[in-house]
């Protein structure tokens, strides 16, 4: 199971871009990189997923270098409502060793 | 289209008691996973059910057991409750185990269990 390392917290201001980098040095060939967002007293919510290079959707971008040992979640022009905990996960659901667990996550605080 | 639903929302038990939590997956999903989230920590994988069988299990004792019904809904049972079992219990559903890609999980709002 690939272990992930993320910063514990990050502060930002409204309108800025927030970049959160996650390290996953022992990522396996079949593993995907997935990011979730969680607000207090709610279940995590899927943000974005990728395997390599760059993935972009309506809320975020995910940058994955060629060696896939790290990934960066980019949140463009954050607002106060983006204040949440962000989790980086590495795993493959179809894997026989699937035991997907979240790390401590990164608490992002957006200030006005 | 209803998402993942869980019941009850909150629950208070005392040490030694038993508890059953329930989960209904998102429409069309057939796989249910359960997570325990202690205060200030990320969710920890308990186990996953697919085709009414436990397919994967995390590092949780046998006091934690589960079941999946033919309609894909699931129950999490915890026996001999300990104070340390106090947590938010999350259910997540996804579609199948087939294929090579990671299947997105949809999480329910959770059940807050307090053990006194």
Structure tokens at B72: 């894909």
Instruction: Say if residue B38's pLDDT is above 90.
Output: yes
- Listing DSSP states for A42-56 in one string gives S--EEEEEESSEEEE
Q: What are the CA-CA distances from residue B12 to residues B19, B31, B94, B111 (Å)? A: 9, 28, 29, 11
Q: Name the more confident of B98 and B16.
A: B16
2.60.40.1180, 3.40.50.720, 3.60.15.10, 2.60.40.10: CATH of A9-111: 2.60.40.10
Please give the residue of chain A at the shortest CA–CA distance from B91: A43
Please give the residue of chain A at the shortest CA–CA distance from B46: A99
**Every domain of chain A and the residues it spans:** 9-111
Confidence of residue B98 (pLDDT cuts 50, 70, 90): very low
For A89, the enclosing helix (H) or strand (E) is strand A84-91
**Every domain of chain B and the residues it spans:** 5-97
Buried b (16+ CB within 10 A) or exposed e, B15-29: eeeebebbbbbbeeb
Structure tokens at A75: 């949140």
Residues A29-78 pLDDT 10s: 888 888 999 998 889 999 998 999 899 999 999 999 999 999 999 999 99
Length of chain B: 116
Instruction: Say if residue A1's pLDDT is above 60.
Output: no
Q: Give pLDDT, residue B100.
A: 43
Q: Name the more confident of B100 and A8.
A: A8
Q: Which of A55-64, A91-100, B94-103 has the highest mean pLDDT?
A: A55-64
Confidence of residue B87 (pLDDT cuts 50, 70, 90): very high
Please judge whether B110 and A43 are an interchain contact, meaning their C-beta atoms are less than 8 angstroms apart: yes
Q: A–B: how many Cβ contacts below 8 A?
A: 71
Q: Name the more confident of A65 and A100.
A: A65
Q: Which residues pair with A36 in a beta bridge?
A: A46, A87
Q: Give pLDDT, residue B62.
A: 96
Please judge whether B104 and A103 are an interchain contact, meaning their C-beta atoms are less than 8 angstroms apart: no
- The alpha-helical segments, DSSP class H, found in chain B are none
Q: Give pLDDT, residue B1.
A: 63
Q: What is the mean pLDDT of chain B?
A: 91
Q: Which residues contact B57 (CB under 8 A, 6 or more apart)?
A: A99, B46, B47, B48
Any idea which residue has 């209803």 for tokens? B2
Strand order in the sheet with B5-7: B5-7, B19-24, B74-78, B64-68
Q: Is A91 on the interface with B (CB under 8 A)?
A: yes
Q: Name the more confident of B66 and A26.
A: B66
Q: Is B83 helix (H, G, I), strand (E, B) or coil?
A: helix
Q: Name the more confident of B58 and B104.
A: B58
- Going by CATH, does the domain composed of B5-97 fall within 1.25.10.10? no
Q: What are the CA-CA distances from residue A110 to residues A9, A60, A75, A82, B12 (Å)? A: 11, 16, 11, 7, 34
């Amino acid at each position: 199971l690939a272990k992930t390392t993320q910063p514990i917290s990050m502060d930002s201001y409204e309108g800025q871009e927030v970049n959160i980098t996650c390290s996953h040095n022992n990522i396996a060939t079949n593993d995907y990189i997935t990011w979730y967002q969680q607000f207090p007293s709610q279940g995590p919510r899927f943000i974005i997923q990728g395997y390599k290079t760059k993935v972009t959707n309506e809320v975020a971008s995910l940058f994955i270098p060629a060696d896939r040992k790290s990934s960066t979640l980019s949140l463009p022009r954050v607002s106060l409502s983006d204040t949440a905990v962000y989790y980086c996960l590495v795993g493959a659901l179809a894997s026989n060793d699937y035991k997907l667990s979240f790390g401590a996550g990164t608490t992002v605080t957006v200030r006005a | 289209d209803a998402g993942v639903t869980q019941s009850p929302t909150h629950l208070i038990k005392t040490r030694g008691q038993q508890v059953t939590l329930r989960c209904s997956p998102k429409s069309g999903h057939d796989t249910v996973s359960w997570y325990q989230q202690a205060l200030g920590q990320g969710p920890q994988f308990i186990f996953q059910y697919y085709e009414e069988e436990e397919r994967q299990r995390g590092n949780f004792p046998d006091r934690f057991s589960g079941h999946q019904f033919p309609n894909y809904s699931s129950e999490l049972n915890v026996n001999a409750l300990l104070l340390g079992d106090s947590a938010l219990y999350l259910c997540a559903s996804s579609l199948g185990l087939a294929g090579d890609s990671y299947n997105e999980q949809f999480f329910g709002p959770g059940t807050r269990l307090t053990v006194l």
